[in-house]
Amino acid sequence: MPDITGINKEVTGCVLCVVSRKRGLDIPISRPAFFSRQHIQPACHGQNAFTTPPLTRKRKAAAATLVDNEPKTAATKASVALSPAATTTSSSGQLSRKKQKPADQDPDTDFTLATPGSFSVPVRSKEEEDIDTPASTSMESDEDFMSVGSSPDDFLDTQGSDVESLGEDFGDDFDGGFSKDKDIIATKRKPYEVEFSVLSPEDIDREQNLQINEVSSILGLPPESSAILLRYGRWNREKLIESYMDHPEKTLEEAGLGTNFDGTPHTEVIPGFVCDICCEDGDDLETYAMRCGHRFCVDCYRHYLRQKIREEGEAARIECPSDSCNMIVDSKSLGLLVTDDLKERYHALLTRTYVDDKDNLKWCPAPNCEYAIDCPVKQRDLRRIVPTVQCDCRHYFCFGCTLNDHQPAPCTLVKMWLKKCEDDSETANWISANTKECPRCHSTIEKNGGCNHMTCRKCKHEFCWMCMGLWSEHGTSWYNCNRYEEKSGSDARSAQARSRASLERYLHYYNRYANHEQSAKLDKDLYLKTEKKMTSLQSQSGLSWIEVQFLDTASQALQQCRQTLKWTYAFAYYLARNNLTEIFEDNQKDLEMAVESLSEMFEKPVPELANLKVDILDKTAYCNKRRVILLSDTAENLKNGEWSFNVEW
């Protein structure tokens, strides 16, 4: 009979699997409730495999008997017997795996690859084995073995195990034996969503200090000097360290540190000293100098720092008061000279500088908000994505341009649209569409009557409004020009037609854009009154406060959908017509119809709202769904470069 001591740790075949095969049961067995997660094996029985807990003498003997009675086929030997070359006997008499990597082991995981008729186990250290192995096990019968908080049905329940909890005891890298990515289990990010995180001022300070300490330990410089170096290099640690290693003295000089790090700057009273700023002298005059050696009285130094911090808003690049010196005042020196309130202002400015210097950080533009957003989207990616983020203050904005949420329109098109709406470009279009220039003096003329005979008031030139030709050549056809148009007249009329078509197209999109913008403002005013309406509905209908929250949900959905619809018209204005445009307009129409329907229900009198609760909830969900469909389809095509535009951007 083979030695199976320690089979629960090092066997290459599960005892229960052997028992099942012996009894003719070819079924996958899920992990019973009483099995600890330390016994789960990802390669045996697919994804729901396990190994047995510590065995009693009776079960060891029974398993050994089954092994001896098995036909000695190659598959059986591979699934039950341990290879002598892969195992050794420890001092405790248990089998253990040699400190070598099997040939079939995946280099990126701690688990060996399974072969037919066998399964593999994780290689664990001696300390892990001592923790996982119980000191004693009291299971003297099969009944005891099966009675620990479970029933035989647990073995056959392949749907009862919690997939997400399988890897808890193996660490974050354990995937429970799944061949797919862990992201499949998590909620999939929508095409128009981006990865981001919200940072509080404390988080920003923590990040700064972490980077400063890392650079300080690598370069062997004081933390305050490392902070100045990082600000000089805009917090690009790799580039800064490389520059310092290649040219240390040059890097220190350009950063404003100098090469002298001897001694600690401190205030000092020097008899007979004369300050170069205030020209004061005295035996008790307190002075201060940085490592550059330029010494001034403490009062002048404090006044200089106060002016820089409070009036100029400078903190990261405060230089020595001497005109010829560019050494930067570090935080340690400043702490000796200024008051506590000025220190707080100084550190707040340093925090703002840190966020401004890093491309992946931006402040939330909401009034009085102190949070920053960390987003990995680069400037070059803004042609393919609209990075909308949400701050903890509930403000949505675009990380690329910090304007309010403008999905699905990219930042560049948004800026072009806003400029077009604000400048006089459309005034010029109107002038071009409704006026003409005198063929002789090129003065702009507006037609104020039905007669086609025009006389320029400036040069007295007479011409035909229809063909722009000389009126003297028209004979008696005063009110109806039927002459063949000359080339110049045809060009003028074509240009006028193009200008009129361009104006009509712009007004089509602008009117709908402005309408949704105005409706969004009205909906926002309505949202501010929503709480009052909810209170009124609660008192009149007998509903609880939780039950009337559907009004708040509907109001937020209305605002969000209006914002999206507004920018779909700006986006559509720059789109070239194709099949994708037709699909886009269909999605736009569906969302617009749903929003108008929800808005109409939301404005019903309060007594009717209780009866419309189900309809409002359904319509709110439908609006949100249509918005997701519209944004997802647009973002997917934008990411893949499928859209064609009628402008260069």
Q: What is the pLDDT of residue 423?
A: 72
Count of C-beta atoms within a 10 Å radius of residue 80: 26
- Please say whether the dihedral angle defined by the alpha carbons of residues 125, 126, 130 and 131, taken in this order, is positive or negative: negative
Confidence band of 270 (pLDDT split at 50, 70, 90): confident
Task: For residue 381, give the amino acid letter.
Answer: D
Q: Is 451 tagged catalytic?
A: yes
Contact call for residues 397 and 405 (beta carbons, < 8 A): yes
Q: Cα separation of 370 and 391, whole Å?
A: 10
Q: Is the peptide bond preceding residue 271 cis, with omega within 30 degrees of 0? A: no
The phi and psi torsions of 604 (rounded to 5 degrees) equal: -65, 155
Measured CA to CA in angstroms, residue 21 lies from 14, 29, 225 at distances of 11, 12, 70
Rounded average pLDDT over 448-457: 77
pLDDT at 449 over 80: no
Please give the structure tokens belonging to residue 254.
Answer: 């350009």
Instruction: Please say if the pLDDT value at position 137 is more than 80.
Output: no
Nearest Cα residue to 574 out of 492, 643, 493? 643
Which pLDDT belongs to residue 424?
A: 59
pLDDT grade for 283, boundaries at 50, 70 and 90: confident
Distance, CA of 146 to CA of 161 (rounded, Å): 18
Confidence band for 172, pLDDT divided at 50, 70 and 90: very low
Mean pLDDT for all residues in the chain: 74
In percent, the amount of the chain with pLDDT more than 70 equals 65
The count of residues in the chain is: 649
* DSSP per position, 104-119: TB-TTSSSBPP-TT--
DSSP 194: -
Instruction: Give the bridge partners for 645, in sequence order.
Output: 575
Per-residue model confidence (pLDDT) at position 550: 87
35: closest CA among 149, 123, 129, 135? 149
Domain boundaries, the chain: 7-184, 201-357, 361-405, 438-485, 499-639
**Confidence grade of residue 138 (pLDDT, cut at 50, 70, 90):** very low
Amino acid making up residue 485: E
| pLDDT of 199 | 96
- pLDDT at position 492 is 61
Across 3-7, 432-436, 605-609, 619-623, the highest mean pLDDT is recorded for 619-623
77-86, 248-257, 320-329, 587-596: least confidently modelled range: 77-86
Which has more pLDDT, 622 or 65?
A: 622
Residue whose C-alpha is closest to residue 320's, from 299, 293, 281, 354 = 293
Task: Give domain 499-639's CATH architecture.
Answer: Up-down Bundle (1.20)
Give the per-residue pLDDT at 532: 74
Q: What does the pLDDT look like over 32-56, one tens digit per residue? A: 433 334 444 444 444 444 444 454 5
Return the exposure string of 362-380: e unless at least 16 CB atoms fall within 10 Å of the residue's CB, then b: bbbeeeeebbbbbbebeee
User: Per the structure block, which two tokens stand in for 582?
Assistant: 């037709």
Given 278, 393, 441, 451, the catalytic residue: 451
Q: Quick one: which of 610, 365, 366, 404 has its CA closest to 520?
A: 404
In three-state form (DSSP H/G/I as H, E/B as E, the rest C), the secondary structure along 205-270 is: HHHHHHHHHHHHHHHCCCHHHHHHHHHHCCCCHHHHHHHHHHCHHHHHHHHCCCCCCCCCCCCEEC
Q: What is the pTM of this model?
A: 0.61
3-state class (DSSP) for residue 587: helix
End-to-end Cα spacing for the chain: 80
The Cβ-side half-sphere exposure at 255, using a 13 Å CA radius, reads 26
Amino acid found at 272: G
Mean pLDDT confidence for 328-333: 90
Model confidence band, residue 82 (pLDDT cutoffs 50, 70, 90): very low
Rounded Cα gap, residues 29 and 160, in angstroms: 11
Report the range out of 132-146, 155-169, 231-245 with the highest average pLDDT.
Answer: 231-245
pLDDT band at residue 216 using 50, 70 and 90 as cut-offs:
very high
More confident residue, 146 or 294: 294
Rounded to whole angstroms, the Cα distance separating 236 from 31 reads 49
What's the confidence (pLDDT) of residue 450?
62
